[in-house]
Chain A
Amino acid sequence: MSALGELGSLRGKKTAGQKKDNLAGYLFLAPWLLGLFLITIGPMLASLYLSFTDYNLIQAPKWIGLDNFTRMLSDERLHNSLRVTFTYVFVSVPLQLAIALLLAVVLDRGVRGMAFYRSVFYLPSLLGSSVAIAILWRQVFGTTGLLNQLLDVVGIDGKGWISDPSTALGTLVVLNVWTFGSPMVIFLAGLRQIPSMYYEAASVDGAGTLRRFFSITLPLLTPIIFFNLVLQIIHAFQAFTQAFVVSGGSGGPSDSTMFFTLYLYDRGFGNFDMGYASAMAWFLLVIIGIFTAANFLLSKYWVFYDD
């Protein structure tokens, strides 16, 4: 409110100097603005148009109205890809956040060499969506991979984790959970914000560790949890690289790792059906939009702001 007021008063009296400043500001913004319009908004609008067309990448697009969207209703592989994606999001995000929170709380206790641990735990987040890690994952979970060699030592017969449709998605969930570092760092920052006097007061009243965690830490951390939740859900919906590399681009075995984004890619570039792929991209945008909006709506029931 007050910011708006300030803005209004600024508008009222612009000196020549300020105008010059603004120009400089826009100039500095220009590279980003150009990028926004040329590489984000422009192509997005183009893909919105393409989503109403039959476009095979080589010949000019043909307008077909809503056909692409109605086709989605009866496309069973698309429905399967939605199931796979939702499973991935709803299993991996809560797990990842729980682990991130747990480790953040432990590290916040003032473990010696905390900076070191923080970096070590954060590292997977930087690497997690890279091709190199996905290739590593194939090695770890392959039939002769590291995991099976370890299991072999304890006398368990391993299996091809990434090549069995019942476990392949699980390995990707583990991969996503493993990148708990970035929400963890945010949790750590959040924990620092909680005034220590609350804990002191609670201790005096005889509250134990668990009680302090559930009655002080958790409620005061809800805005941070909310923030992480929104980010990680969006992130998980958009997962692509891991599944693409681990499955060798096929979304296999038996479509068990065929994420929505992967199927979109397959339709567009594998099947030359870019109109349909564009329609799918917009559908995904709507899904993510709905989830984000729902998150914000529901947040009033559980997120607690201290101020």
Chain B
Amino acid sequence: MRHIPRALTALALATTLLAASACGGDSGGPGGSSDDAGGKVTLRFTWWGSDTRTKLTQQVIDAYQKDHPNVTIKGEFGEWSGYWDKLATTVAANDAPDIIQMDEKYLREYADRGALLDLKKAQGLDTGKFEPDTLGAGEFDGGLYGLNAGINSFAVVVNPAAFKTAGVAIPDDTTWTWDDFARIAAEVTTKTGGKITGTGTLGANEAGLNLWARQNGESLWTKDGKLGVSPEKTTDFFKYILKLRDQKAIPSAEAVSQDMNAALDQSAFATGKLAMSFIWSNQLVAFSKASGQQLKLLRIPSADGKAADNGSYYKGSMFWSISSRSKQQKAAAEFVNYLANSAAAGNVLLAERGVPPNTDIRTEVTPKLQPADAASAKFIQDIGKDLGDPSPAPPVGGGQVEKIIQRYTTEVLFGRQAPDAAAKAFLDEVNGELK
């Protein structure tokens, strides 16, 4: 009579669908291949992101459908936080979308289990204009499971208007240290009487810890898929977050924890409550739209005041993957090819998903970039000479690390766990998730 718990229902649903799919088998059936050029093809395409991204992506879909009247593309999109649950469910139910916007964190997870198509074997997808490094990010075990959709880097975003209000000068990001960062952020909070807080916190995702580790000769993940950061450095990291809290450089623990689950458009930085925050460089576009401000990107502070030592690296902001169970693999590959290699798509998408990895498209698009796109593209170009080694991709099970570090950052900020205890518990838990 009463509600069966939703989780149970979902479980039940997943198992039923699975059972049903087992009966279906691999018989293919009509429409199983898209070889007949005249036939109608429907593709499902899923991505996460802000309103800005959704609008741009839909524009590209519309343009593609106009050129390919036999292809219909259904967009399925949502916020980052719910995206992965939904993807897991649809994949389990053998109902995965044909084209999947994939993140580095989950790429191995899905690829290792055979859920993604090896794009090297996909017909109609050209990767000739990609630099080997950018292709490599989606490549392992001899296959290409995700095609780099854009290059980004972790950065500090600055709201110059907030700095002006506070009467604080925007710092020189080629020489600033973590101490400078904390001091400047605290200054903003003090000078605005708490109306604007200096910065969003570190530790809202794992990227900050990774850079922290890289600045200290470690890294979050090792090349052979293990944790590479020591309890000591993790403790230092949490101690630094505590320092930010105590100097009022970051908002209250409650505000921080609330912000961790907020959609980009409603986040504290986008709504003008923060002078700085940590973002991925390509998010500059969405944050600029959401805040209505001209924002600026700064490099991540370093331990020794040398930007070249701040551990930054080029990351594949996201990847295009194709479901291995897609019945329209060829059509899907053709659409991914369009996304990655056509000037028409490039001119709409610009740098919202990161700087285009296809070098021709990058050249084509660069003069057309709008201020925010141009700023993020220029940032990526500027830091190019100071980059460290590429950062190893997360191993299977590593996708959980974001949620885990959020939880321990919260524990530390609320004073429920001391930095050393939190560091140990954090590392133990991440280790437990690796498979």
Task: Give the residues from 280 to 318 in chain B that come closer than 8 angstroms, CB to CB, to chain A.
Answer: none
Q: Is the interface of B mostly helix, strand, loop or mixed?
A: helix
Given contacts A164-B414, A235-B2, contact A278 B11 (CB under 8 A): yes
Is B11's CB under 8 angstroms from A277's CB?
yes
Flag if A143 contacts B258 (CB, 8 Å): yes
What CA separation (Å) do A129 and B9 show in the bound complex?
A: 15
From B32-40, B45-53, B399-407, the one touching the partner chain is B399-407
Shortest CB distance B348–A (Å) = 31
- Cβ of B109: which chain A residues have Cβ within 8 Å of it? 272
Q: Is the CB of A57 within 8 A of B92?
A: yes
Q: Which parts of A1-51 form the interface with B (CB within 8 Å)?
A: 38-40, 42-44, 46-47, 50
Tell me if B2 and A274 are in contact (CB < 8 A). Answer: no
Considering the complex, give the chain B residue whose CB is closest to the CB of A46: B15
Kindly list chain B residues whose C-beta atoms are within 8 Å of the C-beta of A164.
Answer: 253-254, 257, 414
Contacts of A103 in B (CB 8 A): none
Quick one: CB contact mask for A41-84 with B, threshold 8 Å, 1 for yes? Answer: 01110110010000011110000000000000000000000000
Interface string of B62-104 (1 = CB under 8 A from A): 0000000000000000000110110011011000000000000
* 1/0 contact string of B100-143 vs chain A (CB within 8 Å): 00000000011001110000000000000000000000000000
| A162 interfacial contact with B, CB 8 Å | yes
Contact of A38 among B3, B7, B16, B433 (CB under 8 A): B16
Residues of A within 8 A of B12 (CB): 39-40, 43-44, 47
B-contacting residues, A128-177, CB 8 Å? 129, 142-143, 159-160, 162-165
Interface 0/1 of B392-412, CB less than 8 Å to A: 000001001001001100110
Counting CB contacts under 8 A, is A265 at the interface? yes
Docked CA distance A47–B92 (Å): 14
For B253, what are the chain A residues with a Cβ–Cβ distance below 8 Å? 163-164
Complex-state Cα separation, A129 to B2, whole angstroms: 11
Tell me whether A252 and B5 are in contact (CB under 8 A): no
Determine if A209 is an interface residue (Cβ-Cβ < 8 Å): no
B10: interface (CB < 8 Å): yes
- Neighbouring B residues of A163 by C-beta, 8 Å: 253-258
Across the interface, B3 reaches (CB within 8 A) one of A50, A129, A265, A274, namely A129
- In the complex, the answer to whether A281 meets B7 with C-beta atoms within 8 Å is yes
How many chain A residues touch B (Cβ–Cβ < 8 Å)?
Answer: 52
Known: A39-B12, A255-B407. A270 touches B400 (CB 8 A): yes
Size category of the binding interface on chain B: 35 or more
Given the complex, which residues of B lie within 8 Å of A43, measured CB to CB?
Answer: 11-13, 15-16
Decide yes or no: A270 and B88 within 8 Å by CB, A43-B16, A58-B113, A163-B258 being known contacts. yes
Flag whether A88 is at the interface (Cβ < 8 A).
no
Interface check B260, CB cutoff 8 A: yes
Contacts of B6 in A (CB 8 A): 240-241, 244, 261, 265
A238 and B407 within 8 A (CB): no
A271 interface residue (CB < 8 Å to B)? yes
Residues of B within 8 A of A254 (CB): 257, 407, 410-411, 414, 416
Given A57-B91, A252-B407, A264-B7, A160:B19 Cβ within 8 A? no
B10: chain A residues within 8 A (beta carbon): 265, 268-269
Contact between chains at A247 and B261 (CB < 8 Å): yes
Which 5 pairs of residues, A with B, have the shortest CB-CB distance? A248-B261, A160-B254, A43-B12, A163-B258, A57-B92
Q: 10 A-B Cβ contacts within 8 A?
A: A43-B15, A57-B88, A240-B5, A248-B81, A249-B82, A250-B260, A252-B260, A253-B410, A268-B10, A271-B433
State the B residues within 8 Å of A (CB): 1-8, 10-16, 19, 81-82, 84-85, 88-89, 91-92, 109-110, 113-115, 252-258, 260-262, 397, 400, 403, 406-407, 410-411, 414, 416, 433
